[in-house]
Chain A
Amino acid sequence: MANVKDKETTKVNIKIEGIPFQVEAGLTILEAAKKCGFEIPSLCAFNHGECSKASCRVCLVEATGARGLVAACVYPVAEGMEITISSPKAVAARRVSVELLLSNHNRNCQECDKNGKCELLHVAKITGAQEGRYEGEQTPVTVDELTPTIKRDTSKCVLCGRCVERCKNAHGIGVLGFENRGFKTIVGPAENRSFINSPCIMCGQCINVCPTGALMEASEIDKVDMAMAQGKYVVVQTAPAVRAALGEEFGMKIGTPVTGKMVAALRRLGYKKVFDTNFGADLTIMEEATELLNRIKTGGVLPMITSCSPGWVNFAEYYYPDQLSHLSTCKSPHEMFGAILKNYYAAKIGVDPKDMFVVSIMPCSCKKFEKNRPEMEDNGYRDVDAVLTTRELGRVIRRAGIMFDRLPDEDFDNDIVHDYSGAGVIFGVTGGVMEAALRTAYFVLTGKEREGIAFKEVRGFENIREAEFELAGKKIKVAVTSGMRGAKVLLDQIREGKSPYTFIEIMGCPGGCINGGGQPYVREVFLPNEDDDIMDTYMQKRANALYSEDERQVVRQSHNNVQIQALYKEFLGEPNSHLAHELLHTHYNPNRPRFD
């Protein structure tokens, strides 16, 4: 830490465009210029050095003491340095860099779903690059559309390496890499395979960081349109994390909760019923807390690990097939809810389940994969028929001409599967499932609610968080992590028989669902109204939106959701009953080859 402190306290004097500034030593020219009010266009530099390969050459500037032009994203400032961004030489060089990128780029921009959020077009605009300046050979193109989750189109790749770094940083997996050499270089899984034949967990973090349309979610908007056109009874459910980020798609500040407007928009899009996945989350907690307590009571396999995140489940199947018995058998909340909608609710409202079409709006791209798993079907009906990401929902709302910011706040459909507790809401942030389960487990074991309700010990964004609780005279240790780096540590402990924990929550994406692979892109250049460094704060802001909704809820524990109680009384019997097992639980596949 001493070094970091030194860096902060040591200042250097520099000049940008002839104007003197004092900045921290150790900053790159790009960072220093930003602090001084200059935006140097850049593509490959991302998230405070998470990726800085200086490969795109878009940030070239002149700096005294350097020969020729330097890449601002990696070149550090030094005492007395004079930086020129606007010299004719630097301006021309940046423009040519972008023009060269464009010359090997699929320029069907109007067909690209990234249109409007494309950083290549952004830097083209800033640098004044003209798309047709250079024409020539194109790198051989690979388009991977085999997965239901991620679409990879190398004709739009600028080889910035951000996805490569994110895959490695977030998960330590590194499914993506550069391959071949020179003009034939591409980014992809080894052997230029499809993601479906690689040990990709399909979390979609690579989509979140891609500056262009090279990596995108596989869209299911058409599928939903089709169901609507066929006159199906189309029902929609929305995951908690969506409401914390959807506003960003419409220029609202990060962390603005938009639950009411989101419901209003969905109603205007023609969905017959608008429900909240949180009902499913409450159901999950009833099942999962019961499963945990049973495992503790009967000497079952411990620690038990949550199973809501399909990215994490994929990771477990690929990398720890020998430890799958630790995963809770619970389906994820939207799958549980889907099963209830088709196998219970449909009959209640007199709709043939085969005519019902369940759409899940998810912050997640991997849910698209999960809903296709063979296990996610009951009595011949798919639990969920289509999954749209938060971003896709944004697109659909814009397409329908709905002015989102002018919508009134509306409530979810008031029906027998409508209520949800605050515990369900916080599922969307890392630590939330743990906290929700503890609230209910505490009640089941002690017969009373915990004072203060919240288990704030498990909140936060540190990689691995642990806490110890006393439940009915017994001490239990729990751990929470998100991103597969932490998962690997916890799973290795289990494999070696050294895990001190009883219950573990693991989410695929760093930060949990609020930072899921289907959430709006967080890019400073497209969010000019944010007043702080959003790369450092966006997750906390989105999390706060969920924690504040939890606090506003009257019912904050899943077991106190009266509609959940009624569902058990009338239909399921009790948690972990035979019927509950059939509809709400699943199993895992220990035989998934990493390279098929």
Chain B
Amino acid sequence: MAHLSEAAVKQITEICDRYADEKTPLMMILSDIQREYGYIPLEVQELVSDKTGIPVAEIYGVVTFYSFFSLQPKGKYVIGCCLGTACYVKGAQQVIDKFSEILGIKAGETTADGLFTIDALRCIGACGIAPAVSINGKVYPKVSVNAVSGIVDEYKAKEN
């Protein structure tokens, strides 16, 4: 665990302690770590394993099973494009392709500057406003291909 900073070790230990009384604490611990750091690398899984006694392989299995968890750092802004049935028939594929084209990355990847990640999501339960895009929790309804560059610019502007 040489790669983890002291502060990170302390914080992850705190997160594990938070759920010490839970019978099955793993999902809660991983969710908190994912939210806090944006990803859960192997070093962190080792630490969680030490604290909880759950084998690393089991933790790794959970992390790779749920798409909510990530092994790689995600960008500052995670663009979640819903590709569920309703969004798909309303043209979500073209929307996600447009994001890819503008940012120069594929779904699941992160831009070199660490700003954007594109995630292809299955139904996020917003079929009424399809196609839906969710960026760091903010939901954009009925996104058209033409609206995509405006959305990207909105976040780029925040950085300047």
Segment 172-222 of A: residues with Cβ below 8 Å from B: 172-181, 188-191, 199
The proximity string for B residues 34-49 relative to A, scoring 1 for CB distances below 8 Å and 0 otherwise, is: 0000000010011000
B60: chain A residues within 8 A (beta carbon) = 177, 179, 190-191
Contact B55 A181, beta carbon cutoff 8 Å: no
What B residues does A172 contact at CB under 8 A? 53, 55
A190 touching B65 in the complex, CB below 8 Å, given contacts A594-B46, A595-B42, A595-B46: no
Q: Does B57 contact A (CB under 8 A)?
A: yes
Q: Which of A168, A188, A595 contacts B55 (CB 8 A)?
A: A168
A190-B42, A190-B45, A595-B42 are known contacts. Are A174 and B56 too (CB-CB below 8 A)?
A: yes
> Cβ of B56: which chain A residues have Cβ within 8 Å of it?
174-175, 177, 190, 199, 595
Residues of B within 8 A of A199 (CB): 56
Q: How far is the CB of A161 from the nearest CB of chain B, in Å?
A: 11
| B150, CB-defined interface residue at 8 Å | no
User: How far is the CB of A574 from the nearest CB of chain B, in Å?
Assistant: 44
CB pair A176–B64 under 8 Å, yes or no, is no
Min CB gap B63→A, angstroms: 9
A191/B42 contact (C-beta < 8 A), A177-B61, A181-B64 known: yes
> Quick one: closest A residue to B57, CB to CB?
A177
Interface residues on B, range: 10 to 19
Assess whether B58 is interfacial by the CB under 8 Å rule: yes
> In the assembly, what is the distance between CA of A438 and CA of B56, in Å?
39
Tell me, rounded to whole Å, the shortest Cβ–Cβ distance linking A479 to chain B. 22
Question: Which residues of A in the span 123-180 have a Cβ within 8 Å of any Cβ on B?
Answer: 164, 167-168, 172-180
Most chain B CB neighbours (cut-off 10 Å) among A177, A180, A199: A177
- Mask, B92-109, CB within 8 Å of A = 1, is 000000000000000000
B46 cross-chain contacts in A, Cβ below 8 A: 594-595
List chain A residues, Cβ under 8 A from B55: 167-168, 172-175, 177
A residues within 8 A CB of B54? 174
Contacts of A175 in B (CB 8 A): 55-57
Report the minimal beta-carbon distance from B76 to chain A, rounded to whole angstroms.
26
Q: In the complex, which residue of chain B has the Cβ closest to the Cβ of A176?
A: B57
Most chain-A Cβ atoms within 10 A of its Cβ — which of B54, B59, B61? B61
Nearest to B45 among chain A residues (CB) is A190
Which residues of the other chain, B, contact A178 by a CB distance below 8 angstroms?
61, 65
Residues of B within 8 A of A177 (CB): 55-58, 60-61
Q: Which residues of B contact A189 (CB under 8 A)?
A: 57
Within 8 Å CB of B53, what residues of A?
A: 172
Contact yes or no, B57 A181, CB < 8 A: no
The reply to whether A180 and B57 form a contact with Cβ atoms under 8 Å apart is: no
Give chain A nearest CB distance to B44 CB in angstroms. Answer: 12
Q: Taking the nearest CB of chain B, how far is it from the CB of A132, in angstroms?
A: 32
| Residues of A close to B61: CB separation below 8 A | 177-179
**Bound state CA distance, A174 and B65, in angstroms?**
17
Shortest distance from the beta carbon of A237 to any chain B beta carbon, whole Å: 35
Interchain CA distance A594-B42 in the complex, whole Å? 11
> B65: which A residues are within 8 A, CB to CB?
178-181
CB-based nearest A residue for B58: A177
Bound Cα distance A190, B71 (Å) = 12
Kindly provide the distance from the CB of B58 to the nearest chain A CB, expressed in whole angstroms. 5
| Contact indicator B42/A180 (Cβ below 8 Å) | no
Known: A173-B55, A191-B42. 15 other contacts (CB 8 A): A164-B57, A174-B58, A177-B57, A178-B61, A179-B57, A179-B60, A179-B61, A179-B65, A181-B65, A188-B57, A189-B57, A190-B60, A191-B60, A594-B46, A595-B46
List, sorted by A's number, 16 A–B pairs whose CB atoms are closer than 8 Å: A167-B55, A168-B58, A173-B55, A174-B57, A177-B55, A177-B56, A177-B57, A177-B60, A178-B61, A178-B65, A179-B57, A179-B64, A188-B57, A191-B42, A199-B56, A595-B42
